[in-house]
Homo-oligomer: A and B are copies of this chain.
């Protein structure tokens, strides 16, 4: 039975959504849950979530990392041997082999730094990449990096391509995932210096390389993995979310401000629009894997609710069962050999 560590101090409203989502996941997917964080706070939340006899236990971690933790101070807390914050304690359980994956809805930067110090990187990976799932016209696309590395080297993009490809294949079940390189034009030769330098590396890699992609290929579903530097990926993600939100808001406003017939129409299409909102809902995916770390780490949004946490645990469970870390290690090694 996969053992998933959940940072009970992660979400903005911790520990309630984190604990409730854990209970729901234990019930739904048959996973064992280890809740890390302040026992005094987790205890009552767990009791309130009616865990029954589900395999859920608490590991006490009196401290927590917050949005205030950055720079030197964060590095100290992330690396300290006897760190008592929930991220460090939780990841140590994975490191020691007492758990299989770590899930948090806490500070992304803190989780990344802690993961780097405590779990380290897969051999041959210079920088881990944060890899959320974008909804597309035909399904989904794994996009990385979306924020861990604002400035990248061509080699980083190559490593992202390999990691993303393995993830799409093993965890998302795509055969020979098509890997695209995000650029300002689909034709080869279009791109900034980074894209131009990365292109020959991606062409030589043992992946199903598709070529340059624009938004229409990524969102249109032409590729299964889209590789980019963390700055561009982050801007892409945030803009896409903002456009989707604006559209949904505008539709709602227009119907609300419309004629009586429009309002009636609005009521009739409401369920249909609801199913679209579901496609766009980040809590459906729950959390993004931090690929390249030598251990499974999933980072969710601070605004995660119980459903998002449950989904994050589902995805973590899938990754454990697929032994994706082993597969990523082999793929990176194979590509290093050339």
Q: Mark A174-198, 1 if CB is under 8 A from B, else 0.
A: 0000000011110000111101000
C-alpha spacing A243/B218, complex, angstroms: 10
Q: Mark A220-254, 1 if CB is under 8 A from B, else 0.
A: 10000000111110111111111111111111001
B231 contacts A192, C-beta separation under 8 Å: yes
State whether A273 and B251 are in contact (beta carbons under 8 Å apart), knowing that A235-B232, A235-B236, A265-B268 are contacts in the complex. Answer: yes
B254 contacts A184, C-beta separation under 8 Å: no
C-alpha spacing A160/B85, complex, angstroms: 44
- Chain B minimum-CB-distance residue to A249: B137
Q: Is the interface of A mostly helix, strand, loop or mixed?
A: helix
A215 contacts B192, C-beta separation under 8 Å: no
A246 contacts B262, C-beta separation under 8 Å: no
B276 contacts A250, C-beta separation under 8 Å: yes
Does A214 count as interface, using CB distance less than 8 angstroms? yes
A262 contacts B268, C-beta separation under 8 Å: yes
State whether A219 and B193 are in contact (beta carbons under 8 Å apart), knowing that A234-B184, A272-B255, A276-B251 are contacts in the complex. Answer: no
Does A57 count as interface, using CB distance less than 8 angstroms? no
Q: Mark A258-272, 1 if CB is under 8 A from B, else 0.
A: 100110111111111
C-alpha spacing A270/B249, complex, angstroms: 16
Shortest CB-to-CB span from A281 to chain B, Å, is 13
State whether A191 and B150 are in contact (beta carbons under 8 Å apart), knowing that A219-B243, A239-B218 are contacts in the complex. Answer: yes
**Most chain B C-beta atoms within 10 Å of own C-beta, residue among A240, A242, A258:** A242
State whether A193 and B151 are in contact (beta carbons under 8 Å apart), knowing that A243-B243, A251-B276, A272-B258 are contacts in the complex. Answer: yes
* Cross-interface CB contact of A265 among B191, B230, B250, B265, cutoff 8 Å: B265
Shortest CB-to-CB span from A5 to chain B, Å, is 27
Given contacts A236-B236, A261-B268, 4 further A-B contacts (CB under 8 A): A184-B230, A184-B231, A255-B269, A265-B265
